[in-house]
Amino acid sequence: MLCTKIDNLNEIPKGYVIQPKLDGVRALYLNGKMLGRVRDNGHQSDYFETMNIIPIRIGLLNKDVVLDGEICVFENGISHLNLLMRKENQLRAVYVIFDILWLDGKDLSKLPYFERIEILKEWYKKTLIPNDKSPIRILDFINYSEPLIKKMYEAGLEGIVAKKLNSQYLIDWGNPCEEMRTPLWLKFKFWKTTDVKIKGLKPSEHNSHGALITEKGDVGLLTMANLEYYKNNKPEYAKVRFLEMSEKGKMRKPTLLGFKVLKSQSIGNVK
């Protein structure tokens, strides 16, 4: 079950609760196996078995349960995908469970979300040893609160996920890894913005319009109008939104918002 992206918090209807958006690899525990998937340049890959992340599997083998969650590595309380992708950090990985779909021969997917969470919490207490160092944790929901969302943003979280409190979990048990995108789950990302100095233009690839070479990584031009504006005006700076900075000072998922000329601003058309 996949989230629908929203661009404004006002798009979250009443009757929804929120959770921090985790920055890791989505993973389904099914038939004694941990199946995960990653995204490559925005395209979803097939599920793969994450056999090499050993701590996550401790205590879960041979349990008659289906779980949905995310494999993460945390740094100062914040999850970072780039840390998980580094092999030396995989022993630090934890499986954060945010839903339970099946337990002891019973299909729980048709139950309301809030009931599934209560069942998950009870199962977790009885089956595992809850503590801060456990490689398996659960993620509860919280009520929508603008001050709380502001604190999440200031803390450096990637965003929030909003879920309809009484929603079922949409799953095809004949093909459970083929997930469905639905407005029952919504995601909102906390984008950051910055001005970056342009060093030059990178030639177009794969029918794109090229990219700006900047001190903080390449930024795609998105449209022909932006390419023409750059060629005609030679702006010195680009205004860019991004999710986070890497350890090497490069922007993750940068998007061009416009251009900026030193001491006088001129915004290009971004469509």
Q: How confident is the model over 23-50, as a mean pLDDT?
A: 69
Does the pTM surpass 0.75? The reply is yes
The whole-angstrom separation of Cα 170 and Cα 184 is 9
User: For all residues of the chain together, what is the average pLDDT?
Assistant: 83
Q: How confident is the model over 88-109, as a mean pLDDT?
A: 90
Q: What pLDDT, on the 0 to 100 scale, is given for residue 227?
A: 85
Residue, of 270 and 14, whose pLDDT is higher: 14
Q: How confident is the model over 55-84, as a mean pLDDT?
A: 81
Q: What pLDDT, on the 0 to 100 scale, is given for residue 168?
A: 97
Residue, of 114 and 259, whose pLDDT is higher: 114
Q: How confident is the model at residue 156 (pLDDT cuts 50, 70, 90)?
A: confident
Q: Is residue 174's pLDDT more than 80?
A: yes
pLDDT tens digits for range 193-236: 889 999 988 877 665 678 888 989 888 887 888 888 888 888 88
Q: How confident is the model over 240-261, as a mean pLDDT?
A: 84
Q: How confident is the model at residue 134 (pLDDT cuts 50, 70, 90)?
A: confident
DSSP lists the bridge partners of residue 252 as 244
Q: How confident is the model at residue 111 (pLDDT cuts 50, 70, 90)?
A: very high
pLDDT tens digits for range 85-96: 787 887 788 889
Residue 202 neighbours by CB under 8 Å, 6+ apart: 210, 211, 212, 213, 218
Q: How confident is the model over 119-138, as a mean pLDDT?
A: 82
Q: Is residue 270's pLDDT more than 70?
A: no
- Which is it for the CA torsion 69, 75, 81, 83, positive or negative? negative
pLDDT tens digits for range 180-204: 899 999 999 998 888 999 998 887 7
Q: What pLDDT, on the 0 to 100 scale, is given for residue 264?
A: 45
Q: Is residue 13's pLDDT more than 60?
A: yes
Q: How confident is the model over 23-35, as a mean pLDDT?
A: 84
Do 240 and 219 contact (CB within 8 A), yes or no?
Answer: yes
